[in-house]
Structure 1
Amino acid sequence: MDGVFPGGTSVTRLSVYPGACAADGLAGGTPHMHLASTEAYVVIGGAGELHTLNTAGHRGTPLSTGSVVWFTPGVIHRAVNHGDLQVVVVMSNAGLPEAGDAVMTFPPDVVADADRYRAAVELPVDERRDLAVRGFLRLVADPAALEEFYDHAVALVRPKAGGWRDIWASTAEAQTRRTGEVIDALAHGDGRHLRESELITTPQSETERLGMCGRLRTYDVRNGVTL
């Protein structure tokens, strides 16, 4: 458990893409959803909007410095940049998104075919985004198509999901179990864990990488350094 970020979460610095999408002219990222993890945005600069779609419908939520918004598995989301949008992303289940807990909203003929989906994921960032936005706009225009997209998304991640349990067990589950042990100990007057307390840090990655919504600087929150 030493060095693991609170709650088994992960933290990422996100600079949302400024370039406009050919499909609708909006600047921003690739619409996608997570199937097991909840994601939160803490806006630290700039302005924009979060476009979401789920069974409750399509919504645009304004984003400005100080905004905090989060969304649960099944919410398709797209960050739209109105001007230098900067976000700290807090994601539950650290390690699961990196292990495949995300499906982009490519058109149905792509998400229905695992090989075509994998090929689309490898497209250059702008092409990948434009393809996913076309699929997203179709889902917005035809809410009934969302059910089909959910089914295809589950089929795409099903081969990977068996391995996710080990990742989850080593982060979120382990921390929850540890908190239960601490509460039980305190109820018996046992404070030994206080004598094992630590101050932990982890550096921001030195280089940016291209993510679905923008340029990312990550933190290795699973291997913090004790100060």
Structure 2
Amino acid sequence: MTYPFPMPGAVGVSHLRAYDWRAADDVCGGSPHVHLVCTEAYVVTGGRGAVQTLTADGYRETPLEPGVIAWFTPGSVHRMVQREDLQVTVLMQNSGLPEAGDAVFTFPADVLADPRAYAEAAALPAKEGSAAENAARRRRDLAVSGYLTLRKALQDGDSEPLRAFYRAAAALVAPKIADWVPRWRDGALAAAQRTGAQLDALAEGNSAHLVEAQVRVATPSRIGGYGMCGRRDEYEIPGATLPVQAK
């Protein structure tokens, strides 16, 4: 039995150095956004900062420093905050889905309601250079403006704007679901099913899959790109079903 060789559990991995760009509320950090079906984890490897989150339970700020692991499930609007050279390794559930659109920025409601306007606001015209940085800053600032509206409403006890954002986000990604299903099936689901098959084999005294053990090594395929939360290093894992990329 041979099969692709993804990361454990078919997770995605990347390294992030949080943006130090100051936003309208005088906070340095990244672009607030939400994932619709993927849980995300921050493993803090250096510096100091925070992650601000919005959920139906309200607003929360979680301090980040080396040794901390913070993770949040789908629906958690999150904003990485830079305080002192914050660096994290990101682990992302369902590698391939975030790269296929499982992330929606907290743009203002009128932008979210127009798929074309949303796509234009979310796009980066270049991978590197001043054009890319300027576009990433504009995108971040637009996401912060919508985020601050959602946060204020939650702090005032009103969760309806957040729920409306969820509905708009779901409508935006609905046309992509047919593409997500095979990515999930061939990635995370296949990885879990292989474990089930191996458990069944071992229960029957069959250890044949151990003979096919493999060792792989990956180095970043791109360093310092502009991600949602910061400058990112990303990987493509040889032999994997899907690229393992950065946020």
Q: TM-score, normalised by structure 2?
A: 0.88
Say if 1:4 and 1:222 are closer, same or farther in 2 by CA, change over 3 A.
Answer: farther
Shift of 1:145: 0.3
Distance (whole Å) between structure 2 residues aligned to residue 179 and residue 150 of structure 1: 34
The answer as to 2:237 corresponding to 1:221 is yes
Distance (whole Å) between structure 1 residues aligned to residue 73 and residue 40 of structure 2: 7
Listed as ranges, the gaps of 5+ residues in structure 1 are: none
Aligned to 1:29: 30
Does the Cα contact within 8 Å between 1:10 and 1:221 map onto a contact in 2? Answer: no
Distance (whole Å) between structure 2 residues aligned to residue 162 and residue 184 of structure 1: 31
Aligned to 2:64: 63
Aligned to 2:186: 170
Aligned to 1:102: 103
Shift of 1:127: 1.1
The answer as to 2:14 corresponding to 1:8 is no
Shift of 1:223: 3.1
Does the Cα contact within 8 Å between 1:11 and 1:221 map onto a contact in 2? Answer: no
What is the root-mean-square deviation in Å for CA atoms of aligned residues? 1.1
Aligned to 1:138: 149
Aligned to 1:90: 91
Aligned-partner SS, 1:11: strand
Does the Cα contact within 8 Å between 2:37 and 2:102 map onto a contact in 1? Answer: yes
Give CA-to-partner distance per residue, 1:92-117, whole Å, 9 cap, x none: 00010110000000011111111111
Aligned residues: 223
Percent identity between the aligned chains? Answer: 47
Aligned to 1:119: 120
Shift of 1:206: 4.3
Does the Cα contact within 8 Å between 1:5 and 1:222 map onto a contact in 2? Answer: no
Listed as ranges, the gaps of 5+ residues in structure 2 are: 125-134, 154-158, 241-247
Distance (whole Å) between structure 2 residues aligned to residue 198 and residue 209 of structure 1: 30
Distance (whole Å) between structure 2 residues aligned to residue 222 and residue 141 of structure 1: 45
Match of 2:173 among 153, 157, 160: 157
Does the Cα contact within 8 Å between 2:222 and 2:235 map onto a contact in 1? Answer: no
Q: TM-score, normalised by structure 1?
A: 0.95
